[in-house]
Amino acid sequence: MEEARLRHLKSMALAIRQDIVRMVAEAGSGHPGGSLSVADIVSVLFFDVMKHDPSNPCWEERDRFILSKGHACPAVYAALAEGGYFPREELLTLRKFGARLQGHPDMCKLPGLEASTGSLGQGLSIASGIAMAMKMDKKNNRVYCLMGDGELDEGQIWEAAMTASHYRLDNLCGIVDRNGLQIDGCTDDVKTLEPLSDKWRAFGWNVIEVDGHSIEDISAGLNRFRHSHFKPTVIIGHTIKGKGVSFMENQAGWHGKAPSPEQTRAALLELSQEVI
């Protein structure tokens, strides 16, 4: 990957992380841990991979992005604002009464959202339906669905996985935020997921594992998806919950908690010192 492109994507991921901290702190509630863990993935998708147009959010030839783990919407809101879908100042209205930026995505309120999500387990079904419709219409658009690893406890995920494989939806890319933590603690303590890659393969998917914080690795994985045929692809991104803020990293307690003013200042200071 060329240096200028790499630096741009890293800078976007950093901006997203800073926005997440500010948004959740201003709201006094939200989900910083799982939002911070997907910032690099979201950066590559929105600023390098997906076809989309902020000036024309309903552009028919756009790729579709479904945030199945809807509680991580601060990361997507930040990307949409950084990309020009709405003013960045509006980020600070997160979770406020009457705001377009609800605590989970509402496609009826905000441009750039393809689905209203938040009830975990449903996103891959939505994405599969969209991908199937595109196949029927002979469209070349692609569909990306970002899931949490704790969300894989939901049976509907695996029903959708079977459907996508059965219909050979090679225009569908599932992405798993494999940070190892969910609201109740370690994913493997709540319900064992491993061997996760083998499970997806058994359901008929092409499986790619990447470092979910390496821009180069994420980009390479998504490029492999675009050159895969006859079966859907899942990218398992190995990530760190709370990535970028040391006192949040690998702490399940930061799944759904806002930082105090002191913690907010410390987090933003730490992020400001990150080297791009």
Q: What is the pLDDT of residue 26?
A: 98
Best CA proximity match to 151, nearest among 44, 65, 66 = 66
Buried b (16+ CB within 10 A) or exposed e, 30-45: bbbbbbbbbbbbbbbb
Cβ-Cβ contacts under 8 Å for 184 (sequence gap 6 or more): 190, 252
Residue 182 one-letter amino acid = Q
The DSSP call for residue 93 is G
Cα–Cα dist 167/98, whole Å: 41
Domains in the chain with CATH codes:
3-272 (3.40.50.970)
- pLDDT tens for each residue of 71-94: 999 999 999 999 999 999 999 999
Residues in the chain, pLDDT under 70: none
Q: What are the Cα distances from residue 107, in Å, to 36, 92, 114, 126, 264?
A: 22, 19, 6, 13, 29
pLDDT for res 276: 79
| Measured distance CA(213)–CA(235) in Å, rounded | 13
Q: Tell me which residue of 58, 254, 222 sits closest to 146, measured CA to CA.
A: 222
Yes or no: say if 114 and 130 are a contact pair by the CB < 8 Å rule.
yes
pTM (2 decimals)? 0.97
Secondary structure letter of residue 189 according to DSSP:
H
| Phi, psi of 99, deg, nearest 5 | -75, 155
CA 157 to chain centre: 16
Q: What is the pLDDT of residue 170?
A: 98
Query: Hey, what amino acid is at 106?
Result: D
Q: Is 164 helix (H, G, I), strand (E, B) or coil?
A: helix
Residue 223 C-alpha from the chain's centroid: 17
Question: What pLDDT is stored for residue 1 in this prediction?
Answer: 81
pLDDT tens digit sequence for 117-149:
999 999 999 999 999 999 999 999 999 999 999
Neighbours of 246 (CB within 10 A): 12
From the list 224, 260, 217, 252, the residue with the least C-alpha distance to 238 is 217
